[in-house]
Amino acid sequence: MLHIRRSLAFSVIDKVTGVVLSILTMAVVSRLLAPAEVGVFMIGSSIVILIEALRDFGVSACLVQARELTPHLVRTAMTVMAILSLVLGTVIWWAAIPLAQFYDSAELTGIVHVAVLAFLAAPVANPLLALLRREMAFGRVALIGMAAGLTNTALSVGLALAGFGAFALIWASVAAAFVTAAGAVLAHGGLPPLRPSLREWRQVVPFGAWSSIITLLGMLLDSLPRLILGRMLGLDAAGLFTRAVALNQLPERLFLNAVQPVVLPAMAARLRAGEAIAAPWLMGIALITALQWPVLMMIALLAAPIVGILLGGGWTEVTPILRIVALSSICLFPQYLAFPVLVAAGRVREMALASLFTVPVSGGILLVASVFGLQAVAAALILTGALQSTVALALTWRCVRFAWRDLGTTLGQSALVTLAAVLPAAGVMAVAGRGLAPGPGIAAIATVAAMVGWRCALRLMAHPLDAQLDRITARLRPASGADAI
């Protein structure tokens, strides 16, 4: 357990650094680029990311969960990824022109062509990072992530200042991919033997096929609003929606994405040992909801000052979209642990088949909503999120066998904690008389009031998160003289 907590701490450090750098990049670049420029970058990168999901072919997850890791398995994984990178990179390169015509943006051709260069780094970076995670070497993984993040931020800001427009963001992401590959090689102590091999293809291909379907459909669902908006309402709408989602996902990237890379190896180890995982899964849900729900509610309350401070005056149309997106995200809590649990249990096929149902249905809902405008698409995320979470919970229950009453109790506690955080903040805003558009000073006071209410509720209810925070505080507290002796 101590090893898992240490690994989680390193993962959180990596994510915290990434979020801080993302905020810095967003704050500067949003004042240099127009919504349409951000929109064309996001459409181009979304298309490439979808292809990357196929290129990875589940290799990373396969290496993490394999019961026995052999040199032939590692070589097969790298060979499969190299072949797919070459084939899919060529396909997306030639598809750039028709894609640009579809979105009526000549600039999109160059964006896609530059983005494809990152495919050269992936066959090295992804398998080696998977091996490091399997070894629970999250300290080294965190350093790699921080180096890549610094590279991305420096180049994004520098090239944007130099007038590169949307190309500033795409060149920065490509450079970060190569920094990640170089860091993975150094952290692993060099490259494994590069002799191509397909000896273990029977282990890699079946797992990779289903895992790739899950990843691809998940990324497609995440990208669908941008892709639909870019076509139906224009690049400006895609840029505005992208910024709303990016702001809403900052807490998720800070806390929740740090959990999944640690949970997959930990859950796989427990299952290999024949141990039950219902209790740790419920603990994970308790921690996630007690962190996420109050933050999402505060984002909805303080959307106006958040947009003004981080994006600037040219992005005020993001405010109502951000408010809706934040509220729609409350129901997504089951999804953060669903993938690692199902992968660890070897049930990826079931999740893939479920995604083949949820993604088309969600896409249809979003497409219909786009006819009614940008805010309608944001509101449609409530329906699509509820659908995905219901399916994720049903699949997770088949593996975890948690008690529904225990889940209800866990969610009820987190709901009360959320209420204790939101009410003081809403009271401060009501007294200030500025409605949902408070200035930075009132927003800061409301945030402090929310934090006090949140922390008191955790303590009074003996919420599981309270013990975790006490443990973190104890570690950060300087040792007393007696302890030092």
Please determine, for residue 299, whether its predicted confidence score (pLDDT) is greater than 50.
yes
Residues in the chain: 485
pLDDT band at 42 (very low <50, low <70, confident <90, very high): confident
Average pLDDT over residues 303-324: 91
Query: How much is the pLDDT for 457?
Result: 95
Query: How much is the pLDDT for 485?
Result: 36
% of the chain with per-residue pLDDT over 70:
82
Please determine, for residue 484, whether its predicted confidence score (pLDDT) is greater than 50.
no
Tokens of 203: 């282990």
Query: How much is the pLDDT for 460?
Result: 93
Q: How far apart are CA 389 and CA 338, in angstroms?
A: 9
pLDDT digits (tens, 9 = 90+) for 61-96: 667 666 666 777 777 777 877 887 888 888 889 988
Q: How far apart are CA 175 and CA 148, in angstroms?
A: 8
Please determine, for residue 482, whether its predicted confidence score (pLDDT) is greater than 70.
no
Instruction: Tell me the C-alpha to C-alpha distance, in Å, between residue 460 and each of 417, 420, 454, 456.
Output: 10, 11, 10, 6
CB contact at 8 A, 138 and 14 = yes
Please determine, for residue 471, whether its predicted confidence score (pLDDT) is greater than 80.
no
389 or 44: which carries more pLDDT confidence?
Answer: 389
What are the residue boundaries of the structural domains of the chain, listed by start? 1-199, 235-475
Return all residues near 400 (Cβ < 8 A) that are at least 6 apart.
277, 278, 281, 341
Quote the pTM value.
Answer: 0.77
Please determine, for residue 481, whether its predicted confidence score (pLDDT) is greater than 90.
no
Mean pLDDT of all residues in the chain? 82
Instruction: Read off the amino acid at residue 56.
Output: D
CB-count exposure of residue 408 (10 Å: 0-12, 13-18, 19+): exposed
Query: How much is the pLDDT for 151?
Result: 94
Query: How much is the pLDDT for 5?
Result: 59
Average pLDDT over residues 115-125: 84
Query: How much is the pLDDT for 479?
Result: 45
Average pLDDT over residues 287-304: 93
Query: How much is the pLDDT for 104?
Result: 86
Please determine, for residue 447, whether its predicted confidence score (pLDDT) is greater than 90.
yes
Q: How many CA atoms lie within 13 A of 388 on its CB side?
A: 30
pLDDT digits (tens, 9 = 90+) for 181-231: 999 889 877 766 567 666 666 666 666 566 667 777 777 777 888 888 888
